[in-house]
Amino acid sequence: MNINYEKKDKLLIVEITEEIDHHVVEKIRRKVDDGITRYMPRKTIFDFSRVSFMDSAGIGMIIGRYKMMKLIGGSLEIVNISSTVKRILEMSGINKIIPLEGKREVV
């Protein structure tokens, strides 16, 4: 995974490059939380363009980061989601609180 902070717009960009399951979620959580507490971003953006698999572990991870961003008065967005991953997120109702439709150029 790659984490970048765009200072100008106060955006924390998290590009996930692996399959999201219980095994990798702990590492993702730690790194993202590190980034959030260090930079206090206005928005955290998860780029899912390289995520080919996600199970329920991802739902918990996303909700956890969403709560954290809310706590510091920021927001969370997920972009470039595949249809399979989207199905899981919609099942959980996450789509009602977190925007999923966005596309974003990967730099």
Partner 1 sequence: MYDNEMKLEFLSKSSNEAFARITVAAFASQLDPTIEELADIKTAVSEAVTNSIIHGYENMEGIIKIKGRIIKNTVELEISDTGKGIENVELARKPLYTTKANLERSGMGFTIMESFMDEVEIDSVFGLGTKVIMRKKIKKHIEDLNEILSVGGVC
Ligand X SMILES: Nc1ncnc2c1ncn2[C@@H]1O[C@H](COP(=O)(O)OP(=O)(O)OP(=O)(O)O)[C@@H](O)[C@H]1O
Q: Under a CB-based contact definition with an 8 Å cutoff, are residues 55 and 21 in contact?
A: yes
Distances (CA, A) of 55 to 1, 40, 85: 17, 28, 8
| Structural tokens at position 21 | 């399951």
Interface ranges with partner 1 (CB under 8 A): 19, 21-23, 25, 29, 53, 55-57, 59-61, 63-64, 84, 88, 91-92
Q: Which of 6, 29, 49, 56 binds ligand X (CB under 6 A)?
A: 56
Q: Under a CB-based contact definition with an 8 Å cutoff, are residues 80 and 104 in contact?
A: yes
Q: Cβ-closest residue to ligand X? A: 56
Q: How far is the CB of 8 from partner 1 (least distance, A)?
A: 31
Note the residues at the interface with ligand X (CB under 6 A): 56-57, 59-60
